[in-house]
Amino acid sequence: MSGIGSIGPHVAKPVAGGCLVVASLVLLPVVATSYQLGTLVVSMVFLLPALGLNLILGYTGMLSLAQMGFFGVGGYTSALLAMHFGTPFWLNFLAACVVPALVAIPLAIPALRLRHTSFVMCTIAFVFILESVSKNWVSVTRGDMGLSSVPRPRLGLWSGGFEVHTVVQYYYLGLLLCMLAVAALVAIVRSPAGRYMIAIREDEILAASVGGRTWHYRLAAFVLSAAFAGAGGSYYVHYITVISPTVFDPSYTNTVLVVVLGGGVGTISGPILGSVVFVALSEALRVAPELRMMIYGLILTVSVFAFPKGLIELLASVAKRAWPLRARRSHAD
C-alpha cells in the first residue's frame, strides 16, 4: 500500500497479500448469499471503468469524465455483436475494448490540446455527443428504447460453449475480467511508459525535458482508459441484458469518480477497495430508501474529511498498526 506512483523492487509482500485476497475472493461464493454476490458483480461493473479513470487521473494527472461514455460504447458494441452475429463472449469483450479505444482517438486529438478545466469540460461534452448518437441512430441502437434481450455471455471458442447464467457464474466471470484488468493496469504503470505518465502528472514540462513525448503518453492514457471502460460496458450489458441511452447518465460517472477518489487515486488497491465499499454501501442502505442517498452523502463527506487520499489510507494505517515492526522495516530497506 505504498504511496502514489511508487514503483520499486519491494513487491514480495504485496504479492503475498494479493494472493491471499484472490484466494478469499475465489472462495467467497461458498459463504456469501446470491444477493451479496450480485452486489459484488455491480462493484466489478464499476471497477473496470474506474481502473481506466485511475490510469488517466491517478497516473497521468488528467481528469476525464468521458469514462461512462466509453463504457456505453463498449456496451453497445458488445450487445450488437452478440445480437446480430451470435459471437462468443471473448470476441464481444475484445471488441468492446477495441472500439471505444478507436472512438477515443479522434476525440482525444482536439481534447489533448486543452489542459485542466477545459479538458474536463471537453470530456463531459463527449458523453453528451455519445448519448445523442445512441438516441438518434435508431436503426442501430433502437434509440431511447435501447437494446433488450441481449444474449448472456457465452463462453466458447466460436459456436456452442457454456452460457453464464447464475449470479455465482457472473461473479467468477467478473473476477476473472477484473483480475486481468488489474494485471494490465499494473503492467502499464510499471512499464517505462507508466513512468513517463507519472512524470507527466508530476510536471509536464519537466517530463518533456527528460525526453518524454508527453502528447503521445497522454493520448495513450486516454485511449487505454477508454478500453478499460469499454470492458466494463461489455460485462455490464451481458449481465443486465439491456442497454439504453440512460447508460450515459451522469450518475454513473459520479459513481466511478467516487470509487476512484474515495478509494484512493493513483494506487492500485484504492479503486478496488472503493468499488467494493461504495457500491456495497449504496446497496446496504436500501434498507432505508427515504434516507438512502442522504446517508450515503454523509458517509462520503465524512470519509473525505477523514481520509483525503481515499479509504486506502485507512487500510494502510490499520496495517501499520497491526504490524508496526514489519511496516517500519519495509520502509527502511
Partner 1 sequence: MPTEPQTALSLRGVKKSFGPIVAVADVDLDIAAGGICGLIGPNGSGKSTLFDCCTGLVLPTAGRILAGPTDITGWEMARIARQERLFRSFQKAVVFRALSAEENLVLAGQMAAFPGLVSTFSFGPISRRRVRDLRARAGELLERVGLAHMRHAKAGEMSFGQQKLLQFASMLMPEPRIILLDEPFAGINPVLIQRIVDNIRMVNREGGVTFVIVEHNIDVLRELSHRLVVLSRGRILADGDPNDVIRDPRVVEAYLAG
Q: Which of 71, 89, 119, 196 binds partner 1 (CB under 8 A)?
A: 196
174 or 266: CB nearest partner 1 = 266
Q: How far is CA 246 from CA 132, 170, 236, 242, in A?
A: 11, 23, 13, 11
Asked if residues 78 and 93 have their Cβ atoms less than 8 Å apart, the reply is: yes
> What's the closest the beta carbon of residue 55 comes to partner 1, in angstroms?
12
Is position 17 an interface residue for partner 1 (rule: CB under 8 A)? no
> What's the closest the beta carbon of residue 192 comes to partner 1, in angstroms?
4
Q: Which of 113, 165, 213, 328 binds partner 1 (CB under 8 A)?
A: 213
Is position 191 an interface residue for partner 1 (rule: CB under 8 A)? yes
Q: For residue 227, what are the contacts with CB-CB under 8 A and spacing of at least 6?
A: 52, 70, 97, 98, 100, 101
Q: Which of 91, 208, 242, 280 binds partner 1 (CB under 8 A)?
A: 208
Tell me the β-bridge partners of 243: 147
Q: Which of 202, 301, 317, 324 binds partner 1 (CB under 8 A)?
A: 202
Secondary structure class of 243 (helix, strand, coil)? strand
Is position 11 an interface residue for partner 1 (rule: CB under 8 A)? no
Is position 105 an interface residue for partner 1 (rule: CB under 8 A)? no
Which grid coordinates are listed for 73? 460504447
Binding part of the chain for partner 1, among 27-35, 42-50, 123-131, 211-219 by CB under 8 A, reads 211-219
Asked if residues 59 and 201 have their Cβ atoms less than 8 Å apart, the reply is: yes
Q: Which of 95, 104, 122, 198 binds partner 1 (CB under 8 A)?
A: 198
Asked if residues 95 and 77 have their Cβ atoms less than 8 Å apart, the reply is: yes
Which residue pairs, CB below 8 angstroms and at least 24 apart, start in 109-113?
109/219, 111/222, 112/215, 112/218, 112/219, 112/222
Q: Which of 119, 170, 195, 243 binds partner 1 (CB under 8 A)?
A: 195
Residues that bind partner 1 (CB under 8 A): 3-8, 187-188, 190-193, 195-196, 198-199, 201-203, 205-214, 216, 220
